[in-house]
Amino acid sequence: MENYQVQFRDLLKRAVSEPGTISAAYSAFHNYSIGNQLAALVQCSLRKLPVGPISTLKDWNSKGRFVKRGEKAIWLCMPITGKKAVKDEATGQETTEHYTFFVWKPRWFVLAQTEGEEYKPDAANAAWDRAKALEDLSIEERPLEVVDGNCQGYSQHRTIAINPLAVNPLKTTIHEIAHILCGHTTEGRVTDSELTPRHLREAEAESVAFLVGSIISLDNLSDSRGYIQGWLQGDSIPEKSAQKIFRVADQILKAGNASAERMD
């Protein structure tokens, strides 16, 4: 494989449409971002490689394991930071602006591609604490003010409110946090109600809830698939939205899990 390019919207579509995909990817590649977990899983499937722990050549060598001759690296998406000079047209002053872009690099190998000393895996930890996530993300919870049986919860600015009788209160919490982190609440209250057709906003927030919920083992996530497709009405998630969904899901997982460490 000389090059590897993937659309995050394709990874998201696969995650939502194939039950067990997210949990399988997380179990094997939990130290990586959700998008890269799925990318690694897809490449292992295409190459017929057993799914297992993944690391760089240097890291495998430090563990006493070495990549087998002829093995080709797995491609993952890496953030690259840079800086550029920006000139203020009004004052003529120049300032330094930092930016980030993402590139695919072939630097990783799964366990089955290596040999050497016995490998002792670290256990995946999908524990997620709701209160810690809200605190770490600086999101406040307030009592529900909407008297509407269809309203599971809503978000406004940096606050959420969850219906005590919500069908799945924890998933609704994640959904509303996603609205905030996706930038949906800057225009005011976002209400989860059958009366408000928010289309892409709802698809983004529910996709985040589905990804996070799959990893922390929430029940009845099959309903999320129908909810996402219902809001999309046959359309597909735009690439930019898919990238945002993966980023926000990682942000929520990290906020609620003190032991979670992302390697990318």
Say what the pLDDT of residue 196 is.
35
Quick one: pLDDT at residue 42? 92
Closest residue by Cα to residue 112 from 58, 24, 47, 36: 47
- pLDDT score, position 195: 37
* Domain positions in the chain: 8-114, 130-256
- Give me the pLDDT at residue 4, please: 64
Enter the pTM of the model. Answer: 0.80
Specify the pLDDT at position 206. 93
- CB 161, CB 145: distance < 8 Å: yes
Q: How much is the pLDDT for 123?
A: 64
Question: If the chain, 264 residues long, is cut into consecutive pieces of 10 residues, what is the mean pLDDT of each piece?
Answer: 71 87 86 92 92 92 94 91 78 78 90 92 76 95 81 91 90 95 76 54 92 89 82 80 93 81 56
Q: Taking a C-beta distance cutoff of 8 angstroms, is the pair 182, 152 a contact?
A: no
Strand order in the sheet with 153-156: 140-141, 159-162, 153-156, 190-191
